[in-house]
Amino acid sequence: MKTKNIILSIVLMASLLVPISCKDYLQMPKQGSFNKDAVFANIRNTEIYLYSLYQYVPKILYGWSNPAALNGPSRVTISDEGICGLYFYRSNDVYVGAVNSSWFTTANGEDIFSWHWTTIKRCIVMLQNIDNVPDATPEIKGRYKAECNAIMALEYLEMFKRYGGLPIVKDLINFTENPKIPRESIDATYKYIISLCDAVIANPDIPAIITNQIEFGRATKAWAYGIKARAALYAASPLFNSATPYLDFGENNKLICFTNYDVNRWKTARDYALEAIQFCESNGYAMVTSYGINRNYTVACEKFPNNGNTELIIATLKNPGLEENVAGSALVYTAWKAKGLAAAGGRNMVNHNAVEFYRNTDGSSVNWEQKITTAPNDPTAPYKNLEPRFQQSIGYNGAVWQTAPLLKLEFFDPGETGVISGINGMIKTTNTSNYGFHKYFHDFEVSTAGYMPLNPIMRLAEMYTIAAEASNEFQGPNAKAFDLMDVIRTRSGMPKLDRTMTQTSLRELIRNECAVEFFAEDHRYFDLKRWKTPEPFKKIYNLKILKFLNNTYTYEKYLSQTRVWNDFWFLHPFPLAEVLKNYGLIQNPGW
């Protein structure tokens, strides 16, 4: 491609060519609403249409005006990673249980159901017409077909983990003929995702890795390997890999679980993840290890390939011209920056629960159950031995936010008369947390105008954790599982694992490592669901941090919020309007 990179090229011209206004998501475009002959008349127009396929590829760093977010907050605020710092945003609906199918599946909810199907429809249109483009080479046609399959696999996976069994649609639909489009079983949906991935892997025309910087964001063969492994992980996990579903659904149980437990599903997930690792590392991907323990993690999560990040499998940019106005990057910055800092909104703040994911560099834990009193002028005492990933992820009291000019975070309130509130303290900022995000801000701390943040949708590190988790579940603790986890831990300065761990203890450690390694990368909310471990959703903790005249500080953990959890939340509801169309979309139980 000879223009800007693909994510930045989803421009107005593309929107004029794409059928997105149909009443039904997969409906055939009305005559005159979509000029198919013009779109596929030449490779240039077809290339523009290709950009539209990427419009709704997942993003995790939404700004406050984005319709795909909770009107500003992210999913971190509805897991135990974070909390919404302001009471009037939609995350607060989850906290009190005031959610319905519209909340979950429409604008300003957790997901926009229609976007998945809009993307799939666009892919079907491309697949049906790409061979008719007169000046497209066979290699270009093959690559575009592979990209369609990769994108559809990702969209189906995003729905699979939220909704369970899905309709499988391979052609555009004429709704005037009253078609029946039933939900398929968990098994059939999972197998379809795998088949799409296998089609990409078998296609010789799609590259293994993007080597041309202007094509950053396009699908690769590594996408297919990664999606295949992630889909197998969800299929093997307790939510789906069970004889009995989370709620009895009678004759429809097959729509929400496999209706049997099979340990070999874990073996499949392990094998797919190991295949992904082998393929990626044979084709230019690698774990980031050459920047030192205090920088490796930041590069792996936040930097672009031309800045040394070798482990991005799927990543997207926050596009200021797509879902938001031209100030979109600044709005992302505002939504994630801790209150008390310049251009900050505090919509996404860190819980103390997330801080407790982290261990000291010797493997021990901070005892947060007791009140901690520091020596004079030592505000960082409780945190100073926590591992480098904590230091690179979370802003805390006394942490250096920027060096030129020097600015330290002040998440404290007065412990006695005469002490001035900290610039980020709860009293001064009317905030609900004494922590903030540092992840995604490195090298941009001083900026108030915003920047273009990277969305790390899938990293090579995930293939390591999938392989380790699945290996332990399949055969108990083993050398391969330990070795895989050690790669992730040692590059961030953590000790190697004790090889005498039991299956249960290794399971808990891997789950905690997932929380640490993929902090605020859109995993935790779905991990807790696939593990069927909702308890962390319920009780949210904060620290009361007080400063005294002698420059000592006290840190005291307290329960700041008790949230609602209902078991029927394990899977999302389908939009009620879609269910009422009676084409076969059976609603999930409880909704």
Task: Write down the pLDDT at residue 474.
Answer: 98
pLDDT band at 159 (very low <50, low <70, confident <90, very high): very high
- Least confidently predicted of 317-331, 429-443, 501-515: 317-331
Task: Write down the pLDDT at residue 197.
Answer: 98
CA distances from 347 to 331, 334, 528 (A): 11, 8, 22
Q: Are 354 and 519 in contact (CB under 8 A)?
A: yes
Strands 539-547 and 413-414: parallel
Helical residues (DSSP H) of 518-567, grouped into ranges: 524-530, 535-538
CA distances from 397 to 169, 294, 384, 418 (A): 52, 19, 11, 19
Query: Does the structure show a pLDDT above 80 at 347?
Result: yes
Query: Does the structure show a pLDDT above 80 at 320?
Result: no
Query: Does the structure show a pLDDT above 80 at 330?
Result: no
Rg (CA), the chain: 24
Which secondary structure element, helix H or strand E, spans residue 557, and what is its range?
A: strand 553-562
Q: What is the pLDDT of residues 173-189, one digit of tens each?
A: 876 777 889 999 999 99
Query: Does the structure show a pLDDT above 90 at 32?
Result: no
Query: Does the structure show a pLDDT above 60 at 18?
Result: no
Query: Does the structure show a pLDDT above 70 at 6?
Result: no
ω into residue 414 within 30 of 0, thus cis? no
> How much is the average pLDDT of 268-294?
98
Q: What is the pLDDT of residues 104-145, one digit of tens each?
A: 888 778 899 999 999 999 999 999 999 999 999 999 999 999
Task: Write down the pLDDT at residue 31.
Answer: 44
Q: What is the pLDDT of residues 249-269, one digit of tens each?
A: 999 999 999 999 999 999 999
Residue 460's identity, in one-letter code, is: L
Task: Name the pTM for this structure.
Answer: 0.94
